[in-house]
């Protein structure tokens, strides 16, 4: 049996395969067979902008070659957009110059978001090819998130399209209330995600996005100081203290210890070795409700990819605007009319204060 400070050899996980694979079944093209929200389509821009996806992918290949870290950053933008008043591109909006600074983009969880300039550049390239009233910023954001996964080694999948852009952004409080926190245990995470119609498998699969990207020290140093979290491997904790010598150090570290720039299932292997970075990460393996799902993804990357695709397609349809709702923004950071932006999110739905996800 492995000691507390010994990394578990991956081959030793094989003994659990038969036990856990029966718990989460593979359904082939499950994601592509999901019913779509009215107004969305798998081939929405087939005639109006047939080169849309190739334009985006070609440019992102160049972007990620210069800075692969932007892949995780752009994937995160899509998460943060969808979880707060739906996938409407509202997180891309700047606050009104004449209005309050209380905006979605400047809420604490979103202050560390980056890649807005990449999305704006892509919008410009798409508009040049297809016109400024054809493709929404919210659809571009969804395609970018998919390509961020694919171009770092993850699974290829189709994205339903036809979203329209919102004309309002959420307030700071509404943003805090709707984004999952990195500081909560699995019990709280599952309860909060259930409100948005995600189950335990969805929660574990969504968390797998942490297989790429970095986290700031302030997102995890409470696990190191003043006392070390007992669920964290001691050697791993010691190395993290070298990166973050105190609780408020302004630094970052990779979220996936084994393959930080590759979208794969090694994040789950990290969790099985008590090397998950965030509280919300490691507790997925500690909690009996999700432990076997974590194990099943650790030993079967194909299974993880299938479930990740499924939940991404599901998340990408949250509270979308279609048809004549919203607008097609000419610039992603401002609505077409220059009126004051006012949030329409119900601030009564409270899921707790968060800093990042």
Please identify every residue annotated as catalytic.
Answer: 80
Ranges of H-type helices in the chain: 17-20, 52-66, 69-83, 116-130, 137-150, 172-178, 186-195, 200-207, 234-243, 266-272, 279-286, 288-299, 301-315
At 350, list the tokens: 């409270």
- Region label for 6, one of left (φ > 0), alpha (ψ between -120 and 50) or beta (otherwise): beta
At 333, list the tokens: 């950071």
Q: End-to-end CA distance of the chain, in Å? A: 34
Angle (CA) 122 42 315, round 5°: 75
Beta bridge partner(s), residue 327: 165
Say if CB 136 and CB 336 are below 8 A apart.
no
Q: How far apart are CA 277 and CA 217, in angstroms?
A: 10
| Closest C-alpha among 246, 268, 48, 67 to residue 162 | 48
| Closest C-alpha among 115, 133, 146 to residue 53 | 146
In sequence order, the 6+-apart residues with CB closer than 8 A to the CB of 205 are 297, 304, 307, 308, 310, 311
Which helix H or strand E contains 216, and what residues bound it?
strand 214-216
């Amino acid at each position: 049996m492995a000691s507390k400070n010994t990394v578990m050899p991956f081959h030793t996980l094989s003994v659990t395969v038969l036990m856990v694979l029966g718990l989460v079944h593979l359904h082939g093209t499950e994601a592509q067979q999901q019913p779509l929200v009215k107004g969305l389509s798998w081939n929405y821009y087939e005639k109006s902008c047939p080169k849309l996806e190739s334009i985006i992918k070609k440019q992102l290949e160049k972007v990620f070659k210069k800075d692969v870290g932007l892949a995780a950053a752009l994937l995160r933008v899509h998460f943060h957009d969808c979880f707060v008043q739906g996938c409407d591109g509202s997180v891309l909006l700047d606050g009104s110059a004449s209005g309050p600074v209380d905006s979605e983009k400047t809420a604490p969880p979103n202050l560390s978001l980056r890649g807005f300039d990449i999305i704006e550049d892509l919008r410009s390239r798409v508009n040049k090819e297809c016109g400024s009233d054809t493709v929404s910023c919210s659809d571009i954001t969804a395609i970018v998130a998919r390509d961020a996964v694919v171009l770092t080694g993850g699974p290829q999948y189709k994205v339903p399209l036809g979203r329209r852009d919102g004309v309002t952004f959420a307030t700071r409080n509404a943003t805090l209330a709707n984004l999952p926190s990195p500081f909560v245990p699995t019990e709280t995470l599952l309860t909060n995600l259930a409100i948005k119609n995600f189950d335990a498998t969805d929660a574990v699969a969504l968390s797998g996005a942490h297989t790429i990207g970095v986290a700031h020290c302030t997102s995890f140093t409470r696990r190191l100081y003043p006392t070390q979290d007992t669920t964290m491997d001691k050697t791993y904790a010691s190395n993290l203290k070298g990166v973050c010598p105190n609780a408020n150090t302004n630094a970052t570290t990779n979220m996936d210890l084994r393959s930080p720039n590759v979208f794969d299932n090694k994040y789950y292997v990290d969790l099985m070795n008590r090397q998950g970075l965030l509280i919300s990460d490691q507790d997925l393996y500690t909690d009996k409700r999700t432990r076997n799902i974590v194990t099943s993804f650790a030993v079967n990357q194909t299974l993880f990819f299938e479930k990740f695709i499924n939940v991404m397609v599901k998340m990408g349809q949250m509270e979308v605007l279609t048809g004549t709702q919203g607008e097609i923004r000419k610039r992603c950071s401002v609505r077409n009319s220059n009126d004051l932006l006012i949030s329409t999110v119900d601030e009564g739905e409270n899921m707790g204060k968060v800093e990042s996800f």
